Structure 1
């Protein structure tokens, strides 16, 4: 993916965010629907591989994020428990079980989440896999988020989970800027390529 920033300097995270969000805004409805269906198919296969005793942390895609509640329903039929994030300042994320789209309620930051009661942040320790929203991820596992910091404060609590960034195919890039607190993803999930392993290079995957 090209950022189209028009500079020979290394793009900042803010510039990357602007470029990715601009590209996502240009997607037509048919493309978004096809990509969401493909992601749901890959997530269903992932759920079958994990088995009925597994817990998966996921999220509700909003706006132009890749994916849809289809992927949550696919998981719900395959694993024991699907946990969705509850975002409240200052973080880390709390969690609540997903029981179907009809049980989601409007939430702060334009999100949708399950209604209370909520589970504490350390519920993420039970997860075999955490599906993580991202604007982009590089081949080393460096993730570009929206900058709010909720996942930065959360990912270390899921130290035993496979961390999977869900992005579009052209949002897997060669290199993104990385901060010391960033936690690298293990895999990327894209509509065209499915799950692909990222080369973290033995990077210590816990923030200092």
Structure 2
């Protein structure tokens, strides 16, 4: 169950994101791609689980395309009715379909909920992350469940705008932290 503090923070950040221009989203995507593709754990680790950004989220499409073109096997989530995430391989932009929720999901073979256990890295969405790695998501809990399934050597990084790295995020017992964040101006920051 979400706390009122989480709902309030989520409303404020979502409202702020609505003011972000397409140009700012694109610029953020280039910076995020450059910062993350400089990490050997993403470019040489074999498989990376990521997500295909929508709307005014910090852009991850450039990152996914670059990783894929460099030979990294990229898994993207498939949202399940129960809120869990299944995973399928990204095979270029033509391998995606738009869902009823407005998300773009891969159409290929599904690897199951535990596919992230074998990933070198998981790049996940967030609305905010604090200095301890506590991440604020959209409230469905799907990435908290995903972060519960990662392998012992899997790196986890959330993608946010610079203003969304905050002093504190309200946390509950089911919330799972990330190991780092990437922002357009600060690049990668590990906790």
Tell me the TM-score normalized by structure 1.
0.85
Q: Aligned residue pairs: how many? A: 188
1:143 corresponds in structure 2 to 135
TM-score relative to the length of structure 2: 0.92
Q: Quote the residue 2:86 is aligned against.
A: 94
Between the aligned partners of 1:191 and 1:185, the Cα distance in structure 2 is: 18
Contact 1:52 1:78 in 2 (8 A): no
Distance 1:127 1:79, change over 3 A: farther
Alignment correspondent of 1:25? 18
Q: 1:133 corresponds to which residue?
A: 125
CA contact (8 A) 2:36 2:42 kept: no
User: What pairs with 1:95-134 in structure 2 (closer than 5 Å)?
Assistant: 95-134=87-126
Please identify, of 187-196 and 107-116, the stretch whose mean Cα deviation from structure 2 is larger. 107-116
Classify the secondary structure of the residue corresponding to 1:123: helix
Runs of 4+ in structure 1 deviating by more than 3 angstroms, as ranges, are 48-53
* Gap runs ≥5 in structure 2: none
> What is the Cα deviation at residue 90 of structure 1?
0.8
Please tell me whether Structure 1 or Structure 2 has the larger radius of gyration of its CA atoms.
1
**Structure 1 residue 154 and structure 2 residue 146: aligned?**
yes
Q: Provide the residue aligned with 1:182 in structure 2.
A: 175
Contact 2:83 2:140 in 1 (8 A): no
CA distance in structure 1 between the aligned counterparts of 2:135 and 2:42, rounded to whole angstroms:
24
* 8 Å Cα contact 2:22/2:56 also seen in 1: no
Contact persistence 1:130–1:162 (CA under 8 A):
yes
Paired with 1:177 and 1:12, the residues of 2 have a C-alpha distance of 6
In structure 1, stretches of 5+ residues that fail to align are 1-9, 199-208
1:146 CA displacement: 0.2
CA distance in 1, matches of 2:45, 2:169: 35
1 or 2 for the larger relative contact order (CA 8 Å, sep ≥6)?
Answer: 2
Alignment partners' CA distance in 1, 2:14 and 2:42: 32
Matched with 1:5 is none
Q: Which of 149, 153, 157 is the matching residue for 1:164?
A: 157
Q: Deviations over 1:52-98 (max 9, x none)?
A: 45210000001111013111011113353110001012132110001
SS at structure 2 position matched to 1:109: coil
Distance 1:80 1:36 in 2: 18
